[in-house]
Structure 1
Amino acid sequence: MRNIFTIILLVVPMMLLAQTPYKFKRVIDLETTPVISQGNTGTCWSFSASSFVESEILRQSGKAIDISEMYTVRQTYMAKAENYVMRQGKAQFSEGGLAHDVLKSIKANGLVPQEIYDGLDPDKNYHTHAEMSAVLEAMLDTYIENPGKKLSKKWKPAINAVLDVYLGAVPEEFAYEGKTYNPQTFLEMTGIDPDHYVSLTSFSHSEFYKPFVLNIPDNFSNGSFYNLPLDEFIATLDHSLANGYTVEFDCDMSEPTFSARHGLAVIPEDAANNMAALTSVYPELKISQQYRQEEFENYTTTDDHLMHITGLLKDQNDTKYYLIKNSWGNLSNEIAQDGFLHMSESYMRLKTISITVHKDAIPDTIRKKLGLQ
């Protein structure tokens, strides 16, 4: 009889816990610009990294500047096109990209404010790129097929002309708050140095503490990522937030437990609780380096979506979650408000492909291991 009572005493609190709605307390809430929508496009990489850069401008200067996502998209399309043509079509040409593509574009092409270059069709109030992307790829494939038996010198001007039609011509000079700038002098005014940012990941198929090219589809530009053990990867993320630095990241959003509608992303210990865990607290899976690697190598974890980490939260059981700024507009729900998500540490450990941070946000001991100055 005593054993039965013991079991009841153990099981009943667990059942009650499993049915408890989430209650969150924000521990860290860093300054960022308002949530906006990427529309019907695959340009989350530009929206999230631009939001990250805007927070960096806020952190460094206190200036709230809305930078143009589509200026970066416009410039990056030309880089994608050149890569696709010179690899004779044996590369990805799509709407996707990664955070380092934004930083590369900023370094090469500068920045432009949103009010100067919005990239919108005059007849629409939202972005849609399906037609443009299909037209561009068809044109590039024609040049690659080489009907003239020699690659035409006209392909770059032709692609640029199409981009001008769909997104608008790139401004050479513009006025902003009473001063005249070009994209490079505007970049200088913001104080952003693209060379001060690094991308980090955590996969055991490559040597830790060394950079390597991560083979994922959207890494068309063959960008390098510094590789950290999983615990140090998470420690770097937490250290960044604790010291006032927001973080850009790439993750898998294909899980049924990633829900923008519920404003939540979790990894329940028991998959039978997946749907219930979107509204109530359930125990979560412990994520090891090995399990993370297996899920990546079997395609269960893929690089689907980039977002912006702007804070840290705790639930009523003192479990850690990350405050995530999305780019799908101001979706509000019972858990998160105004287009933000709450992502558990378990989800972050398993489903994050990479993060991008200011190099000063990395703990000194880890920076030394990476050989960063």
Structure 2
Amino acid sequence: MHNIPLKPIIVAASLIASALAGNAQDNLVNSLKINASEKSKESFKFADVVNIENTSVKNQGSSGTCWSYSANSFLESEMIRMGKKPVELSQIFSARNAYVEKGRNYVRMHGSVALGDGGAFHDVINMYRKYGAVPQSVYTGLNYGTDKNKFAEMAALIEGFLKAVVSNPNGELTPNWEKAYAAMIDAYLGQVPKTFDYNGKKYTPETFAKEVVGINADDYVEISSLQEYPYYSKFVLMVPDNWNYDQVYNVKMNELTDIIDNALKNGYSVAWAGDVSEKSFSWKNGVAYVPEKKIEDMTAEEKADMFNGPKKEAVVTEEMRQKAFDNYTTTDDHGMHIVGISKDQNGKEYYIVKNSWGTTNDYKGYLYMSKEFAKYKATAIMLHKKGVPAAIASKLKI
């Protein structure tokens, strides 16, 4: 997921071009500012049903690192669930290590794999397993005077570098390209400390992960739902940012929300990846749903009223979900952290979702996503395997 909406009829080609230049997150947020109604917050009356403790809302800045921010937020909530004092984990430590691994894959694949800032939840888990973890205070990724991430220049340079490596100008790759590549990333993000002090004790990233964070990377599963693959088996999710070709479990569409509901009601939060560039997703108003009527069939008055209080929704089918994935109207463009369930004044349930775009919207960085939207537009979810209902877990053999 990389925060780049891929719907030309919704997002202008110029926005996509600038997003590809490294400003994807800013452009996606700006494109969603038009999806708003004037009196939305006063028109909704939300009452929490489940609200899992989570850490403060962050801002990923001008970087396509939503996957790292949301997955690390998820891990911080896992620490709380386990009775530990949560640590703000370095999102850029996870991203930096993923960039190194992605560069290796890019060269091995002769350039035939996605580059850029994008990634997936499993990248954070995989990097945690291989490299450990460090606190945000130890590794901020802000190495040249900025107070927020700004990755466009770095992304352009490392892409050019890797393309030069793949062109193989010497006729044989040298052993030095990896050192040069890592040094380029570290010049922008900073060198990762081999050891550091935290609360009066010295750690390495590996010992910090083991002794302080304390999660088991093998406890986490990714799940999706597509008709084209056998249910209750695993498949490679074919989205550009799955650069490592990791597999996800396949369940029926309605089981996605069954799983999320079960997890939340048993104290487990959920990482959600999917499409947020729909007109029915309003970041400003903090509401996402699936309108009963297609946007193009709405009057101007209906469009202006879209987020002024609860509206009837379309009933999503598996066929609708598969078609949207196949025709690019569902793309893997964002990752967020589901931390609870809330009801509107009509009794309809929504998921409470923590975002990583700062606190400038109506709900200070959170939003309310309907269950129809969650299962329609999800590309994958990640959670602790004990959060999966027993009957589904048995079918998945986890």
Q: Structure 1-normalised TM-score?
A: 0.92
| SS of residue paired to 1:112 | coil
Mark the runs of 5 or more structure 2 residues left unpaired by the alignment: 1-41
- The letter for the 1-side match of 2:151 is H
Could you say which residue in structure 2 is the equivalent of 1:14? none
> Given the alignment, which residue of 321, 324, 328 partners 2:350?
321
Cα deviation 1:339-367 (Å, max 9, x = unaligned): 00100111112111110000011111111
Q: Deviations over 1:43-64 (max 9, x none)?
A: 0000000000000011102312
| 2:388 pairs with 1:362 | yes
* Partners of 2:304 and 2:287 in 1: CA distance: 11
Corresponding residue for residue 248 of structure 1: 271
Q: Does 1:35 align with 2:61?
A: no
In the TM superposition, 1:176-215 aligns within 5 A as 176-189=198-211, 190-215=213-238
SS at match of 2:86: coil
Please name the residue that 1:15 is paired with: none
Return 5+ residue gaps in structure 1 as ranges. Answer: 1-19
Determine helix, strand or coil for the equivalent of 2:312. coil
Please tell me whether the aligned partners of residues 143 and 187 of structure 2 are also in contact (alpha carbons under 8 angstroms).
Answer: no
**1:55-134 equivalent positions in 2, closer than 5 A:** 55-134=77-156
Aligned to 1:347: 373
Q: Distance in 2 between matches of 1:250 and 1:82?
A: 25
User: Could you tell me which amino acid in structure 2 is paired with residue 261 of structure 1?
Assistant: K
User: Partner residue of 1:156?
Assistant: 178
Q: SS of the counterpart of 1:278?
A: coil
Q: The residue matched to 1:61 in structure 2 has which SS?
A: coil
Asked whether 1:166 is paired with 2:200, we answer: no
Correspondence for 1:229 among 252, 255, 266 = 252
Amino acid aligned to 1:165: A
Asked if the contact 1:31/1:58 (under 8 Å) is kept, the reply is yes
Distance 1:145 1:191 in 2: 43
Residue 139 of structure 1 pairs with residue 165 of structure 2: no
CA distance in 2, matches of 1:283, 1:95: 37
1:121/1:127 contact within 8 Å kept = no
Give the secondary structure class of the aligned counterpart of 1:277.
Answer: coil
What is the CA–CA distance in structure 2 between the aligned matches of 1:202 and 1:308, rounded to whole Å? Answer: 19
Q: Which runs of 4+ in 1 moved over 4 A?
A: none
Q: Output the amino acid matched with 2:243.
A: F
Q: Secondary structure at the match of 1:301?
A: coil
Residues 40-49 or 145-154, more deviating: 145-154
Q: For 1:202-259, what per-residue CA distance to the aligned partner results, in whole angstroms no more than 9, with x for missing partners?
A: 1110000001101011100101110001122210110000000000010101101111
Tell me what 1:9 maps to.
none
State the secondary structure of the residue aligned to 2:332. Answer: coil
Question: Which residue is 1:6 aligned to?
Answer: none
Secondary structure class of the residue paired with 1:249: strand
CA distance in 2, matches of 1:346, 1:269: 11
Letter in 1 for 2:365: G
3-state secondary structure, aligned to 1:52: helix
* Matches of 2:375 and 2:98, distance apart in 1: 30
- Is residue 2:292 matched to residue 1:269? yes
How far the C-alpha of 1:274 sits from its partner, in A, is: 4.6
Identity among equivalent positions (%) equals 39
**Counterpart-to-counterpart distance in 2, 1:207 and 1:196:** 23
Q: Is the 1:260–1:331 contact (alpha carbons within 8 Å) kept by the matching residues of 2?
A: no
Equivalence for 1:371: 397
* Paired residues of 2:144 and 2:188 also in contact (CA < 8 A): no
Task: Note the C-alpha offset of 1:275.
Answer: 4.2
